[in-house]
């Protein structure tokens, strides 16, 4: 019976080792957002071509009063007049 627990402990250590190493194997390029200049969208309407291009190129989705851009890790705050008031990182 003690051999069973010994083997179980060895399997536990191996699984922890595999999980820990696989988490660190993710390249930093995928985690870090691209160099995004969001200043061009502040104070502009959603119908502006710069704002529309920013939303489309970053695959943003709407969750009013925010436009969520998960790829770059930010949200655009939209007021009632459909103007970008701020950015939340």
Indicate the SS3 state at residue 3: helix
Q: What is the DSSP letter of 1?
A: -
Name the one residue in this structure whose structure tokens are 């970053």: 58
Q: Are 38 and 54 in contact (CB under 8 A)?
A: yes
Q: What is the C-alpha separation between 30 and 32, in angstroms, rounded? A: 6
Name the one residue in this structure whose structure tokens are 């502006």: 48
pLDDT digits (tens, 9 = 90+) for 20-37: 655 554 555 544 444 557
Q: Are 44 and 50 in contact (CB under 8 A)?
A: yes
Rounded to 5°, angle at Cα 20 from 17 and 16? 40
pTM: 0.56
Tens-of-pLDDT digits for all 89 residues of the chain? 677 777 777 778 677 667 665 555 455 554 444 455 778 888 999 899 988 888 898 889 988 889 998 888 888 999 989 999 988 88
Q: Where are the domains of the chain?
A: 2-88
């Amino acid at each position: 019976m003690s051999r069973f627990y010994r083997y179980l402990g060895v399997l536990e250590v191996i699984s922890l080792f595999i999980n820990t190493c696989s988490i660190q194997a993710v390249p930093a390029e995928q985690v870090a957002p691209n160099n995004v200049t969001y200043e061009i969208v502040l104070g502009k309407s959603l119908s502006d071509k710069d704002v529309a291009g920013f939303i489309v190129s970053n695959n943003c989705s709407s969750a009013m009063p925010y436009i969520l851009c998960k790829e770059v890790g930010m949200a655009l705050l939209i007021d009632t007049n459909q103007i970008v008031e701020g950015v939340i990182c």
